[in-house]
């Protein structure tokens, strides 16, 4: 039933997306704050204890509710999976930023595009030329699509196949969320989170995102220019790790971005934006790019935004076809 759960969740999310400051995100932010305040004593074991409570607690709760509902009726468990996926999966949690910037660029209003990019990522974009605006929009949007859609699908599909319901979706989103939340500079100045806790969150997120990032890259290669995507993945992933575009200190983001660059033949990486101290909101990604090695490809232009949109949606269709086949095989088996 994974296919139908994902399908309904995506349809509901498109029809009625979660509000920016919704009760779910507020509650998770409160839970993360409580865990760090009460369980983080500054040492490595305490950091892992705080991370486990914050991430594994909601994950086990999601599985427990799924198990109880399944024992009553399968449709109740299915409805719970749809609800959890609705809260963790979807484009509308970030796509309004992409759409607004693209619309501004289409009418030639680069000043508005710079303001929107600065508001989205909390950066100084006043001196960016048009091509650099497009490049950063592509990079941030692709990473957001991976974290909000494909990464969630990866973990949900695997754990659901083992009867754990939507636990995988919760595990992935909570792990990604706390890796950003505990690394936020302004929040650290106000409340504090020990280096041990930050390191635990980054290490855990790097492990959890390792396979999903590569599945996303493979998906982009299949629905894009396969040979170019694989070649860029092999030779230019390391160039992004010099200045990671995410809180996790690993090559996962570089894999996704390098594959994207090859799949649509666009130059990504190079001199990137410097992110100042900023406030944190639960519904936003907070990527902090630094100087990286640029990939080969064409100079970013407006047409590449349309290419990236097509790439992402084709990858969604690929995922849905695979889930449909797996669901059919399970029903027939």
Domain ranges of the chain: 2-332
Element (H, E) at 225: none
State the alpha helices, DSSP H only, in the chain. 2-15, 23-39, 44-51, 57-72, 74-88, 95-106, 110-121, 130-145, 151-161, 167-181, 185-190, 195-208, 210-223, 226-241, 252-264, 302-332
Per-residue pLDDT of the chain (333 residues; tens, 9 = 90+): 789 999 999 999 988 888 777 888 888 889 998 998 899 888 999 999 999 999 999 999 999 999 999 999 999 999 999 999 999 998 888 888 899 999 999 998 899 999 999 888 877 788 888 889 999 999 999 999 999 999 999 999 999 989 999 999 999 999 999 998 888 755 555 556 888 999 999 999 999 999 999 999 999 999 999 999 999 999 888 877 654 444 344 689 999 999 999 999 999 886 544 444 343 344 444 444 444 567 888 899 999 999 999 999 999 999 999 999 988 887 786
Please report the pLDDT score of residue 25 as a whole number. 83
The pLDDT, as a whole number, for residue 227 is 94
Beta bridge partners of 326: none
pLDDT at 297: 81
Assessment of whether the complete model's pTM goes beyond 0.85: yes
Burial of residue 203 (CB within 10 Å: 0-12, 13-18, 19+) is middle
Residue in this structure with the two tokens 């290669």, named with its chain if needed:
221
- Spatial neighbors of 242 by CB under 8 A, at least 6 apart, are 290, 291, 292, 293
Structure tokens at 263: 């799949």
Distance CA 178, CA 198 (A): 9
Q: Residue 66: what pLDDT?
A: 97
Looking at residue 270, its pLDDT comes to 63
Q: Could you tell me the two tokens for 295?
A: 């990939």
Q: What is the DSSP letter of 266?
A: B
Q: What's the full length of the chain, in residues? A: 333
């Amino acid at each position: 039933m994974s296919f139908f759960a994902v399908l309904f969740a995506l349809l509901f999310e498109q029809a009625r997306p979660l509000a920016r400051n919704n009760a779910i995100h507020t509650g998770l932010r409160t839970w993360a704050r409580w865990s760090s305040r009460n369980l983080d004593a500054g040492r490595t074991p305490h950091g892992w204890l705080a991370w486990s409570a914050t991430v594994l607690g909601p994950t086990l709760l999601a599985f427990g509710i799924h198990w109880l509902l399944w024992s009553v009726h399968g449709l109740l468990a299915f409805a719970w999976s749809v609800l959890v996926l609705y809260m963790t999966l979807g484009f509308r949690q970030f796509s309004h930023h992409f759409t607004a910037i693209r619309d501004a660029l289409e009418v030639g209003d680069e000043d508005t595009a710079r303001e929107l990019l600065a508001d989205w990522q909390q950066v100084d974009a006043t001196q960016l030329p048009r091509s650099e605006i497009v490049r950063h929009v592509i990079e941030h949007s692709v990473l957001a699509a991976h974290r909000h859609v494909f990464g969630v699908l990866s973990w949900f599909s695997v754990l659901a196949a083992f009867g754990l319901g939507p636990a995988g979706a919760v595990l992935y989103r909570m792990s990604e969320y706390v890796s950003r939340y505990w690394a936020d500079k302004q929040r650290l100045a106000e409340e504090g989170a020990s280096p041990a806790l930050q390191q635990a969150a980054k290490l855990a997120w790097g492990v959890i995102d390792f396979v999903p990032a590569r599945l996303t890259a493979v998906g982009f290669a299949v629905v894009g220019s396969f040979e170019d995507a694989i070649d860029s993945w092999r030779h230019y992933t390391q160039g992004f790790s010099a200045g990671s575009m995410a809180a996790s200190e690993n090559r996962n983001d570089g894999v996704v971005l390098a594959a994207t660059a090859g799949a649509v033949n666009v130059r990504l990486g190079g001199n990137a934006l410097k992110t100042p101290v900023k406030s944190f909101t639960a519904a936003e990604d907070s990527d902090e790019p630094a100087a990286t090695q640029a990939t080969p490809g064409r100079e970013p232009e407006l047409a590449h935004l349309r290419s990236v949109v097509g790439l992402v949606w084709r990858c969604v269709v690929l995922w849905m076809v695979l889930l449909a086949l797996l669901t059919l095989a399970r029903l027939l088996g």
